[in-house]
Amino acid sequence: MLLMALLRHCGGRVVASGVHSTIAEALTPFAGASAFNLTANVSPGQLSATNLADQVNTAGLSWKGYSEGMSGNCDLTNHNTAGGDYYLADDEPFLDFADDTANASYCQAHNQPLTQLATDLRSASTTPNFVWFAANDYNDMECG
């Protein structure tokens, strides 16, 4: 429900099935407009646009993106293997934006493996105000 409200607020088109029809539409909540003219997945740091992370920072709030299968903080490599990782860096939209990946320490502090979430939730001081979860390609039904 909250994500649907966020999509509407940011100008996104909500598809009845809940599935986005283009990569650009998938990124709409992160940059406020579907103006990327993308037809394929992007590489980490490829996009230069004000995005949701910038807005959360401006509001003085904390945020993190947690990705299933990420092998370490700010993992920009793909390891989409039959062994079960099925992690692609473009699954976490924050990694698509240059200002979220250019500074290594910033990227590592904000983009972490899903396994880190349990540790962060142990204390209010380490629990982010805004959290994005990215399932691996198997669990988000792209491969499985």
Q: What is the pLDDT of residues 37-80, one digit of tens each?
A: 565 667 788 888 888 899 899 999 999 999 998 999 999 988 87
Instruction: Please give the mean pLDDT across all residues of the chain.
Output: 77
Per the model's pLDDT, the better-predicted residue between 140 and 115 turns out to be 115
User: Residue 4, Cα to own-chain centre: how many angstroms?
Assistant: 16
Which positions ≥6 away from 101 have C-beta within 8 Å? 44, 45, 74, 76, 95, 107, 111
Q: Tokens at residue 66, please?
A: 């947690």
Residue-wise pLDDT tens digits, 90-107: 788 899 889 999 999 999
pLDDT at 111: 96
pLDDT at 141: 63
pLDDT classification of 7: cutoffs 50, 70, 90: very low
Q: Report which DSSP code applies to 26.
A: H
Q: Report which DSSP code applies to 79.
A: B
pLDDT at 49: 82
Sign of CA dihedral 13, 43, 92, 105: negative
